[in-house]
Amino acid sequence: MPFPKKVLLVVNPIAGDVDKTELIENIESKAKSQGFDLAVYRTDGENDRQAIEQSLQDFQPDRVLVAGGDGTINQIADILQGKPVTMGLLPLGSANGLATNLGISGDWQESVEVALGEHISCLDGMMINGHLGLHLSDLGLNARLVKNYEEGEVRGKWGYAKEVIRTLSEHDLFRVRITTDTETVETDATIVILANATMYGTGVVINPEGNLCDGKFEVIVATRFDIIELAKLIAGATELDPEVVRTFCTTHAEIECLEQQALFQIDGEFMGPVDRVKAHILPNMLSVAVPAVTEGVK
């Protein structure tokens, strides 16, 4: 793909709690030296979708750079799906799940080079209960961890480790019926994962067979709290006890909570308790700039 001629930079000013001035100035300098037109939009939480859609219509960029966390990236991906525009990621959030899966550095200077570069990959999405999901969503154990971390007072790795211990002590089983393209299964579960990608933003590989642009996603269910198998799952092991961890590859899935609601999160955003989740794949919904080594990334 040729170098972009028109670039829209969407910046979330509060993402990552860092000043974005240097980043914006760097991209403005590149626009002057490399000869592309640049427009900058700063989100403010007030009618951002309408304003960005208007910018796309008026400016007609061929590349949209997104400086923010997974929430901002999901919002822009939802706007861009199906449009002939490539998205470039400048990950500035706390987890940066999609960027991690694409091998995009958390160093903004490196990510700018990738976001403006010529290496492009397709990206599937998942429509989950009416919301766009790009990498990993789940019911149960990890969703409780997301909730606990959001409510906790300590940030960073220490805060996360603290909430892992707390979450494991609070775990419980819930009964689900899982329907995929090929089968229906009823089972107890401690976690049910809808996985388009391979890993969480922390770098933990949860779905070694995941592929971001194969037109399918995986449903992974741990049927009981087995600390050894959960540790193997978290470590990215491929040889798991089928009596504890099961994986289904599919294009559609429905998870029904049969006896009680389960906590649910989409790409790191806590969505609250649910009694049913419906998901389907959105194949090749978007093109995204990637590092050369991950072009055509799994």
Q: Per residue in 166-198, pLDDT tens?
A: 555 556 789 999 999 999 999 999 889 999 998
Q: Are 223 and 241 in contact (CB under 8 A)?
A: no
What are the phi and psi torsion angles at 254 (to 5°)?
A: -130, 130
CA 237 – CA 248 distance, rounded (Å): 16
User: What CATH number corresponds to the domain at position 44?
Assistant: 3.40.50.10330
Q: What is this structure's pTM?
A: 0.83
**Backbone torsions φ then ψ of 186, nearest 5 degrees:** -115, 130
Low-confidence residues of the chain, pLDDT below 70? 1-2, 16-17, 94, 142-171, 201-203, 224-243, 294-298
Res 268: pLDDT? 79
pLDDT value of residue 166: 53
Statement to judge: residues 32 and 142 lie in one domain: no
Residues 18 and 137 in one domain: no
**Sign of the four-CA dihedral 121, 127, 130, 131:** negative
User: Residue 248 belongs to what domain range?
Assistant: 131-283
Amino acid 241: pLDDT:
59
Q: What is the pLDDT of residue 160?
A: 47
| CATH number of 268's domain | 2.60.200.40
Q: Quick one: CA torsion of 70, 74, 75, 79, rounded to 10 degrees?
A: 150
Count of structural domains, the chain: 2
pLDDT of 82 reads 87
Are 223 and 194 spatial neighbours (Cβ–Cβ below 8 Å)?
no
pLDDT recorded at residue 229: 55
| Residue 154 pLDDT | 43
Q: Residue 228: what pLDDT? A: 56
